[in-house]
Amino acid sequence: MFHGTPRAAADVPAGETTPSKTQLGPAAPATEDAGLDPLGEDTDQRPVQSSFSTSPSAVQLALPHHVLRDLRPPVQPYQIAPKLAQRPVATPALYTPWTPTRALQRRKHISKRMAFLVQTLEQEQVQRVDAARPLPDFKAGDILEVRMMVPEAERKVAIYRGVCIARYDKGIRTSFKIYNVFPDCGGVVQHIPLYMPDLLGLRVVGRIPAKQERLYYLLERQGSEYTFQTNVTAAT
How does pLDDT run along the chain (236 residues), one tens digit per residue?
Answer: 455 555 544 454 555 555 554 455 555 555 444 444 545 444 455 544 444 444 444 445 566 666 555 555 555 554 544 544 444 445 555 555 567 777 777 766 777 778 888 888 999 999 999 999 999 999 999 999 999 888 887 788 888 888 999 999 999 999 999 998 887 778 889 999 999 989 999 999 888 888 888 889 888 887 776 776 664 443 33
pLDDT at 169: 93
> What's the rounded Cα separation, in Å, for the pair 12 and 67?
79
Beta bridge partners of 189: 179
pLDDT value, residue 4 = 52
The pTM assigned to this predicted structure is 0.50
222, 163 contact by CB (below 8 A): no
Long-range contacts of 221-225 (CB under 8 A, 24+ apart): 221/187, 222/181, 222/186, 222/187, 223/181, 224/181
Domains (ranges, CATH) in the chain? 142-226 (2.30.30.790)
What pLDDT score does 192 carry? 94
Rounded to the nearest angstrom, the gap between the alpha carbon of residue 204 and the centroid of all alpha carbons in its chain is 43
pLDDT of 213 reads 87
The burial class, CB within 10 Å (0-12 / 13-18 / 19+), for 199 is middle
